[in-house]
Amino acid sequence: MFKKFTDKLSRKAKSAVKSGANRAKSKAKSAVRDAAEDAVENFVKNAKKVDKTIKGKVIWDFDTFKSEWEKVASDPVQSVLFFINAAYVYLKDRKTGDAMVTILIPTPYLNKDPSSPSGFRLNPKGDGYLLMHMAEDGNIVKSYMGGTDKNNYEIDEDEFEMHVVGLGVDERSATVIIQSGGKHFNSPVNLKRNNDDQWKLFNISNIATGVRETEDEKYDF
């Protein structure tokens, strides 16, 4: 009887300790996340307003995409442009588009995949999920390539245009703010520079938000 009683107390004590540790861990994670979000928000606020139209041509081949990006990877704006290219390819060729995006995302956020030309694939619970969400409405990515709700999100694959409205760059961090042709708000993209002087995207969630319906879609009932 006494042993059962002490065992019960022991289990309760362990449970209380574990519960307390989990709460402390969760609180610490929240504090870190909040601090990171505050830092990003402040950095975005400090980004200077610009008005630039960056032109690109859709690259469909992975090896060509990789080699061309490596030539301009020291420019954070170009890394964002290449991401838009990759997201567009993903609409029509999931495997190639996924592989393209993996070279633009930090390696620790990826899953290894020997069958991929990059050796990695996107995490389906992270950036992979966001890319799949964008693919559900192809107008999202096309809205960053010159497409608008007024022109049915039509783009020129041989000369698409990305509109940059804000830019902030320091030694290791950058924010490139791009404007969608189908949203009332702009989209900050956060990047960090690695030891190879390549800018990689750390946050694509702002790009993945939905866009306005076209005139045809509004009255398609």
Query: Is the domain of 24 the same as that of 116?
Result: no
Query: Is the domain of 169 the same as that of 182?
Result: yes
Query: Is the domain of 74 the same as that of 30?
Result: no
**Number of domains the chain contains:** 2
**Per-residue pLDDT reduced to its tens digit, 82-133:** 999 999 999 999 999 999 999 999 999 999 999 999 999 999 999 999 999 9
Instruction: Say if CB 68 and CB 59 are below 8 A apart.
Output: yes
The tokens for 158 are 């041989």
In a domain, 195, yes or no: yes
Please report the pLDDT score of residue 188 as a whole number. 96
Q: Residue type at 195? A: N
**Per-residue pLDDT reduced to its tens digit, 7-56:** 554 565 445 445 544 555 445 444 444 444 444 455 555 689 999 999 99
Please report the pLDDT score of residue 12 as a whole number. 56
Task: Name 107's Cβ contacts closer than 8 Å, sequence gap at least 6.
Answer: 120
Instruction: Please state the pTM of the whole predicted model.
Output: 0.80
d(CA 8, CA 18): 15
Q: Domain of 140? A: 49-216
Query: Is the domain of 34 the same as that of 63?
Result: no
Query: Is the domain of 130 the same as that of 25?
Result: no
Instruction: Say if CB 134 and CB 87 are below 8 A apart.
Output: yes
Does 220 score more than 70 pLDDT? yes
Query: Is the domain of 128 the same as that of 89?
Result: yes
The tokens for 195 are 């030891």
Q: For a pLDDT cut of 90, what percent of the chain falls above it?
A: 75
